[in-house]
Amino acid sequence: MTNTPLNGASLRGAVDLSSLVNKPSPATTDGSASAQSIVSETNDADFTRILELSKTVPVIVEFYGQGIEPELVGAVTAHAGRIALATVNANANPQLAQAFQVQQVPTVAAVVAGRPLSLFVGLPTDEEVRDVLDQVLQLAAQNGVTGQIAQSGDADADAAEPADVPLPPLHQEAFDAIERGDLPAAIHAYQTAIAQDPRDQLAVAGLAQASLMLRLHGKSASAIRVTAAQNPGDWHAQFAVADLDISGGHVDDAFDRILTLFPKLAQPDKNRARARLVEYFEIVGADDPRVIAARRRLTGLLY
C-alpha cells in the first residue's frame, strides 16, 4: 500500500510501457468487454486499448493469479463510470507483469493519460482503497482526464462522454505539450499562465512538475546515482538524485539529501537549493506533513 500522496510526478519512473504500445488488438471473440466497459479483462496484446481509454478516464490495473481473484470491481464501479478497472492474469501475461514489475499478486497500478503509476501490493482495507481511488481521480483531473463512462441502462451507454470541465487555455496548452513530449513548450505555457496570474497555484505546481520531467528526460537512473556517489560534494550530482527520488515518490530522501548538503554550500548554491526545495514543495503539496517538516528544517538553516 502506498503511503505517498499521488501527484503529477508520480506519472513516470521505472514502469515502462513502450513495448506494449501500438500492438494490434486482436478481435474479441470470447465476449470480453469493449473499450467503454467500466470493468474489462486485458492482456499483453490488448493493452493499447487500455492506454487509449486512460485518456478519457483513469484506469486501475489489477493483477491477479491462481487462487487470487480480482477484488476491486465493487470499489471501481461505485464511482459511476468516472474510473475504469482492467484486470490482468499475471501468469498468462508476462510482458505486462514485467512492465509493471509485478512480484506478487494482487498488485494494483493505475494508468492516467497513457502514463502509469504504482499504487499498492497486497490487500488493503476498503477505506484505504477508497482513499487511493480518490487520489487517482484528483490526479487525473489535474492532468485533464475528466471523462465518464456511461453505465449500462444510460441513454448513451455506448459512449464515454467527457465531463464539461475544460482546463484553462494555457493549462490545456501545457498538457497538450506534455502529451506530445514537448516539455520546453509546456514550461513556457505554465510560465505564461503565472505571468498573467501569479496566484495560479496549479500553474506553479505544473511548472515545477514539467521542469522536473525535463531535468530527468533521457537520463539513466543508475548513472545519476553512480555520479552522485562518486561526487558527494557536487551539488549538481546531488540535486539530480533528489530529482530522481521525488519522481519515484521517495520524498523524505529527496528533502534530506538537499537539506543535509545545504550548510556546506556557497551562498549562490544555497539559493539554488532553496529554489529546488520550493519546487519540490509545490509538487508534493504544501499541506503534506513531509513538506511542513522540511520547510521548518529549511527555515532553521536559513536563520
Identify the pLDDT of residue 229.
94
Specify if 150 maps to a domain: yes
Is residue 1 situated within a structural domain? no
Do 108 and 174 belong to one domain?
A: no
Grid cell digits, residue 115? 502514463
> Last residue of a domain, which of 160, 192, 225?
160
Q: Are residues 176 and 288 in the same domain?
A: yes
Q: Are 51 and 30 found together in one domain?
A: yes
Give the per-residue pLDDT at 166. 67
Residue 2 lies in a domain: no
Q: Are residues 224 and 141 in the same domain?
A: no
**176 and 142 in a common domain:** no
Q: How many angstroms separate the CA atoms of 44 and 225, rounded?
A: 32
Query: What is the rounded CA–CA span in Å between residue 145 and residue 143?
Result: 6
- Domain boundary (160, 184, 216) is at 160
> Do residues 150 and 228 both lie within one domain?
no
In a domain, 36, yes or no: yes
Residues 126 and 189 in one domain: no
Expressed as residue numbers, the domain containing 186 is 169-302
Residue 191 included in any domain: yes
pLDDT at 165 over 60: no
Number of other CB atoms surrounding residue 262 within 10 Å: 18
Total domains, the chain: 2
In a domain, residue 68? The reply is yes
**Mean predicted confidence (pLDDT) in 67-72:** 88
Residue 122 maps to a domain: yes
Asked if 156 and 13 sit in the same domain, the reply is yes
For helices 201-216 and 267-284, give the axis angle rounded to 10 degrees. 110
**What confidence tens digit (pLDDT) does each residue in 178-221 have?**
888 899 999 999 999 999 999 888 889 889 989 998 998 888 88
Average pLDDT of span 118-142? 86
**What is the residue type of 154?**
D
Query: Cβ(40)–Cβ(33) under 8 Å?
Result: yes
Residue 42 maps to a domain: yes
CA distance 212 to 190: 13
**What's the confidence (pLDDT) of residue 207?**
92
Q: Which amino acid is at 200?
A: D
CA 48 from centre of chain? 18
Count Cα neighbours of 234 within 13 Å in the Cβ-side half-sphere: 12
β-partners of residue 84 are 59
Residue 167 corresponds to which amino acid?
L
Tell me the three cell numbers of residue 205.
505546481
The closest alpha carbon to 238, from 249, 247, 246, 229, belongs to: 229
pLDDT at site 59: 95
Q: Are residues 35 and 114 in the same domain?
A: yes
One domain, residues 201 and 95: no
- Pick the last residue of a domain from 160, 182, 205: 160
CB neighbour list of residue 66: distance below 8 Å, 6 or more residues apart = 91
Residue 31's pLDDT is what? 34
Q: The CATH number of the domain where 294 resides is what?
A: 1.25.40
Which residues are 61's β-sheet partners? 86, 109
Map 73-100 to HEC letters. HHHHHCCCCCCEEEEEECCCCHHHHHHC
Are residues 126 and 16 both part of a single domain?
yes
Parallel, antiparallel, or unpaired for β 84-89 and 59-64? parallel
